[in-house]
Amino acid sequence: MLEFQYQALPGRVVFGAGAARRELAGELDRLAAKRVLLVTGGSAEETARALADPLGERVVTVFAGVRPHVPLRVAEAARALAASVEADALLAVGGGSAVGTAKAIALTTGLAILAVPTTYAGSEMTSVWGLTENNRKTTGTDPRVLPATVIYDPELTVGLPARTSTASGLNAMAHCVEAFWAPDRNPVSTLAAREGIRALAEALPRVRHDPDAREGLLYGAYLAGSAFAVAGSGLHHKICHVLGGAYDLPHALTHAVVLPHVLAFNAPCAPEAAAAIAESLDGGHNGDNGNGGDPVARLRALNTELGVPCGLRALGLRADQVFEAAELVAPLVPEDNPRPVDLAALRGLIHAAWAGTRAEAGGGK
């Protein structure tokens, strides 16, 4: 029996190679933006400044201090700058950290965001904000933080190093896979997730040697963000959210390492989702993907091919933090996760992800 609720999100998307340079001024006109604050930082700053340069004085100032997971002090500094220059719009150019900082400003000011993502994190499609203080990450949902316009330009991601690109693409893959069982999933988010997995699985292995792969990756990231924006966070995102906030683990790689373990845990209790994920990983063909139609084996093989470290311990998580992490995650897990989750199961799952134990469907028992 088909029964669902679907709250479609507003927002304009412009996609295409060269679109950022071509369309940026016109898209700011659409938003009636006259005093723009550019929000950027890290390795994306050069790209951001070059993009904003032709806008001249319309960009009144630059906040270039973005940090991973949006520390509260960074958000407060960015908000103070926006107020001091009387900004009337935000231009976020960079990865999830730049978009997240713009969201933190929009949360208290209501300023419109034009986002130009340069990674595959997908934050630009969601109305989810996140702030970190004292090693704890708080997240929430607010329509004010959803970017009004997103320009996806594959050319801007060509300079993203291969290792960052593959980790970020697997972050997008995690949004898609989790969208199959996340609490607010519906047939539309599932369709986006299926196509996102197909596009990402096709493009990820090519990214090291083929600049054309960037288009598929960014398209997959857009679909991943769209699916995640509607379906919400399930078991996988709750685990990664705790690991990122409490132990400062690298966001995208944490997703990449944990995903096969969550899929292995849930797959036996979500056979239709597992079959659809396997089919999409195999390019949308309803056949054997060389791994007996097993999506866990397929994802594991993809991680190996892309050189993803096999355990969270390689990312800096200590053995004595595994059980603590499980306790932090336990109260956050959605009740309708396909497989019941108790503290023992969480300890098993996070320990397996920490040790880099080979994820097998039905794992975590």
Residues that bind ligand NAD (CB under 6 A): 42-44, 47, 68-69, 94-98, 100, 118-119, 121-123, 126, 128, 130, 156-157, 159-160, 164, 168, 171, 251-252
- Taking the complex as a whole, how short is the minimal distance between the CB of residue 118 and ligand NAD, in angstroms? 3
Query: H-helix or E-strand containing 63?
Result: strand 59-63
Helices within 13-63 (DSSP H only): 19-30, 45-52
Closer residue to ligand NAD in complex, CB, 159/211: 159
- Taking the complex as a whole, how short is the minimal distance between the CB of residue 45 and ligand NAD, in angstroms? 8
Rounded CA Rg of the chain: 20
Closer residue to ligand NAD in complex, CB, 42/356: 42
Closer residue to ligand NAD in complex, CB, 40/186: 40
- The DSSP output letter for 200 is H
Report the DSSP pairing between strands 136-141 and 89-94.
unpaired
Closer residue to ligand NAD in complex, CB, 7/286: 7
Closer residue to ligand NAD in complex, CB, 99/277: 99
Q: 38, 85 in Cβ contact below 8 A?
A: no
Report the DSSP pairing between strands 89-94 and 59-63.
unpaired
- Taking the complex as a whole, how short is the minimal distance between the CB of residue 49 and ligand NAD, in angstroms? 12
- Taking the complex as a whole, how short is the minimal distance between the CB of residue 141 and ligand NAD, in angstroms? 9
In 3D space, the residue among 124, 34, 109 whose CA is nearest the CA of residue 78 turns out to be: 109
Amino acid at 302: L
Minimal CB distance to ligand NAD: which residue?
96
CA–CA separation, 51 vs 221, rounded Å? 21
- Taking the complex as a whole, how short is the minimal distance between the CB of residue 203 and ligand NAD, in angstroms? 16
Closer residue to ligand NAD in complex, CB, 166/266: 166
312-346 in b/e form (b: 16+ CB < 10 A) is bbebebeeebbeebbebbbeebbeebbbebeeebb
- Taking the complex as a whole, how short is the minimal distance between the CB of residue 282 and ligand NAD, in angstroms? 26
Closer residue to ligand NAD in complex, CB, 185/251: 251
- Taking the complex as a whole, how short is the minimal distance between the CB of residue 360 and ligand NAD, in angstroms? 28
CA–CA separation, 216 vs 212, rounded Å? 8
Closer residue to ligand NAD in complex, CB, 157/289: 157
Q: 123, 103 in Cβ contact below 8 A?
A: yes
CA–CA separation, 215 vs 169, rounded Å? 12
- Taking the complex as a whole, how short is the minimal distance between the CB of residue 34 and ligand NAD, in angstroms? 27
- Taking the complex as a whole, how short is the minimal distance between the CB of residue 74 and ligand NAD, in angstroms? 11
In 3D space, the residue among 179, 188, 224 whose CA is nearest the CA of residue 8 turns out to be: 188
Closer residue to ligand NAD in complex, CB, 118/321: 118
In 3D space, the residue among 265, 242, 263 whose CA is nearest the CA of residue 254 turns out to be: 242
Please name the residues in contact with 73: beta carbons below 8 A apart, sequence gap of 6 or more.
none
Report the DSSP pairing between strands 59-63 and 36-39.
parallel
Q: 253, 211 in Cβ contact below 8 A?
A: no
User: Locate tokens 């997908």: which residue?
Assistant: 122
In 3D space, the residue among 53, 121, 61, 69 whose CA is nearest the CA of residue 89 turns out to be: 61
- Taking the complex as a whole, how short is the minimal distance between the CB of residue 41 and ligand NAD, in angstroms? 7
Closer residue to ligand NAD in complex, CB, 122/220: 122
User: Locate tokens 């669902």: which residue?
Assistant: 4
